[in-house]
Amino acid sequence: MTTSVKISVKNLTKIFGSHPKSAFKLLQNGKTKEQIFAETGSTVAVNNVSLDIMAGEIFVIMGLSGSGKSTLIRLLNRLIEPSAGHVFIGDDDIAEMSEKALRAVRRKRISMVFQSFALMPHMTILENVAFGLELSGVNSKNRRRMALETLARVGLEAYADVYPGELSGGMQQRVGLARALANDPEILLMDEAFSALDPLIRTEMQDELLRLQENSERTIVFISHDLDEAMRIGNRIAIMQDGQVIQVGRPDEILQNPANDYIRSFIQGVNVSNVLSAKDIASKRHLLNIVQKSEDETPHVAFKLLEQHERDFAVVLDRYGYYKGMVSVDSLQQARSNRQSLSQSFIEITPLSPEQSISDIINDVATTREPLPVVDDKGHYYGVVTKVKVLQTLDRGTEA
């Protein structure tokens, strides 16, 4: 994933009602949403929101009903006209561009998936997926090719010639996703796209979205009221209340450091074992780190260090900080007796992957005597996970 900003929202405000100007003036003077409604009958749906959405990330916006999340996503492609503020895609301000320029952006750069499938029942699946391409002026041969390729990506190429009524709800939503992806947009806006699906199909669609995003730089803005869904798919999450963004952060940041009591109550009951991963709870403080300078290095120095620090285990890293293995007092003592090298004293242990969820590693941690190292496929060392740390994390999740 890149770290460049894809969408930049600056002081974005939307007021619904017959007196938006007077309501906006009251808002600038510090009046609350309730006071403005009482005085003008106007509703402040989005209140001075500023945030940056990065290229290639799944950015989830969530909040309770009436928090402004669905209004905000519609402001991003100007399906709703803003009362004030700006939405930049690169240097282009969506809020200020002409209708002609806006139509071009919607056809080529931004696609949207709604909660309702909104498929046209008289058209085949292929025709539904190709419809937006037709509006964009793509010729019939290329439309068919692009639509078939997109259907293949969501596993529905065999259903190209059937009609929406012949498909299940989950399959229809896949068609809706394929239609949005057909023109290969830079940005995909998804407004409660999976909310109408039953739990099993919903999880399958989340997996599908994550799979499609694996090798893509597409930026996805996803609206949800389901915190478990947001935590599962979001690289970052923005939580809204009364039209304002209260906190933006990675799932683990929000879980471990809620900004206020509203966020704290909002995340209550979240199953942290499915949200936090091994890298989120790994620590480098629990074990002694030993630097291996050469492959034929003896175990004597490592043994002395464990003895001095009164430790049973240590992690061995190379001089660049990459993981080499783990040793124990016993394994080092045996290597010394057998006149073996430090490398030959490594104990047999399978490191955890940084992205493994706590629920996936609980059994390994519980049944292993040693703390478990967390190492990625390139050898980067994140720290170790201990039984105590897992229990503390699960206890905090229960109390949240």
Return the higher-pLDDT residue of 372 and 183.
372
By DSSP bridging, strand 313-318 and strand 323-328 are antiparallel
pLDDT at 327 over 60: yes
Residues 261 and 286 in one domain: no
DSSP per-residue letters across 179-209: HHHTT--SEEEEESTTTTS-HHHHHHHHHHH
Q: Does residue 17 form part of some domain?
A: no
One domain, residues 68 and 206: yes
Which residue carries 């492959």 as its tokens? 295
In this structure, the answer to whether residues 243 and 137 fall within a common structural domain is: yes
Domain span at 139: 54-270
For residues 370 and 389, membership in a common domain is answered with: yes
- 11 CB contacts (<8 Å, ≥6 apart)? 48, 49, 50, 84, 85, 86
Residues 191 and 328 in one domain: no
Is the separation of the CB atoms in 62 and 45 below 8 Å?
no
As for how many domains the chain has, the answer is 2
349 in the same domain as 261: no
77 and 154 part of one domain: yes
Contact 196, 116 (CB under 8 A): yes
Give how far Cα 270 sits from Cα of 207, 255, 261, 392, 400, Å.
19, 9, 15, 15, 8
Q: Return the CA Rg of the chain.
A: 26
Measured in degrees and rounded to the nearest 5, phi and psi for residue 119 equal: -85, 150
Q: If we measure between CA atoms, which residue out of 226, 228, 153, 146 comes closest to residue 193?
A: 226
312 and 340 inside one domain = yes
User: Is the pLDDT higher at 277 or at 270?
Assistant: 277
Q: What is the pLDDT of residues 138-180, one digit of tens each?
A: 888 888 888 898 888 888 888 999 998 898 888 888 888 888 8
pLDDT digits (tens, 9 = 90+) for 124-149: 999 888 888 887 788 888 888 888 98
Q: How confident is the model at residue 2 (pLDDT cuts 50, 70, 90)?
A: very low
On whether both 162 and 266 belong to a single domain, the answer is yes
- Return the CATH number at 261: 3.40.50.300
Give the phi and the psi of residue 94 in degrees, each rounded to 5.
-55, -40
Boundary (domain end) residue, out of 215, 241, 270: 270
Looking at every residue in the chain, the average pLDDT score rounds to: 88
Token readout for 132 is: 């937006």
Per-position DSSP letters for 77-104, written without gaps between them: TTSS--SEEEEEETTEETTTS-HHHHHH
Asked if 82 and 259 count as a contact pair (C-beta separation under 8 A), the reply is: no
The answer as to whether 31 is a domain residue is no
Percent of the chain with pLDDT over 70: 97
**pLDDT score, position 101:** 92
Are residues 225 and 352 located together in one domain of the fold? no
Q: How far apart are CA 88 and CA 74, in angstroms?
A: 14
Averaged pLDDT for residues 73-91: 94
Of 248, 270, 292, the position where a domain reaches its end is 270
28 lies in some domain: no
Query: pTM of this prediction?
Result: 0.74
Give me the pLDDT at residue 247, please. Answer: 95
Give CA angle at 325 (280, 299), nearest 5°.
135
Residue-wise pLDDT tens digits, 178-235: 888 888 889 999 888 777 777 777 787 788 888 888 877 889 999 988 888 888 888 9
Q: Which residue has better confidence, 150 or 348?
A: 348
User: What's the pLDDT band for 349 if we cut at 50, 70, 90?
Assistant: very high
Note whether 328 and 381 are same-domain residues.
yes
Asked whether residue 14 is domain-assigned, the answer is: no
> Does residue 399 carry a pLDDT above 60?
no
pLDDT of residue 43: 93
Say how many CA atoms lie within 13 Å of 49 toward its Cβ. Answer: 37
Q: Note the pLDDT of residue 94.
A: 93
Dihedral of the CA atoms 14, 20, 24, 27 (nearest 10)? -80
Higher-pLDDT residue of 68, 173? 68
Mark whether 147 and 214 lie in a shared domain: yes
Q: How many whole angstroms separate alpha carbon 42 and alpha carbon 22?
A: 9
List own/partner pairs for 305-311 with CB under 8 A and 24 or more apart.
306/332, 311/287
Give the highest mean pLDDT range of 210-224, 274-288, 314-328: 314-328
Q: 215's torsion region: left (phi>0), alpha (psi -120 to 50) or beta?
A: alpha
d(CA 343, CA 322): 14
Please report, rounded to a whole number, the percentage of residues in the chain having pLDDT higher than 90.
46
In a domain, 6, yes or no: no
Last residue of a domain, one of 270, 293, 315: 270
State yes or no: pLDDT of 400 exceeds 60.
no
Helix 169-181 and helix 125-135: axis angle, to 10°?
30
Q: pLDDT class for 1, splitting at 50, 70, 90?
A: very low
The answer to the question of residue 254 being in a domain is yes
Residue 363 inside a domain? The answer is yes
Residue 126 within a domain: yes
pLDDT of residue 397: 54
Res 398 pLDDT > 60? no
| CATH number of the domain bearing residue 312 | 3.10.580.10
Distance CA 396, CA 351 (A): 25
Average pLDDT, integer, range 255-274:
82
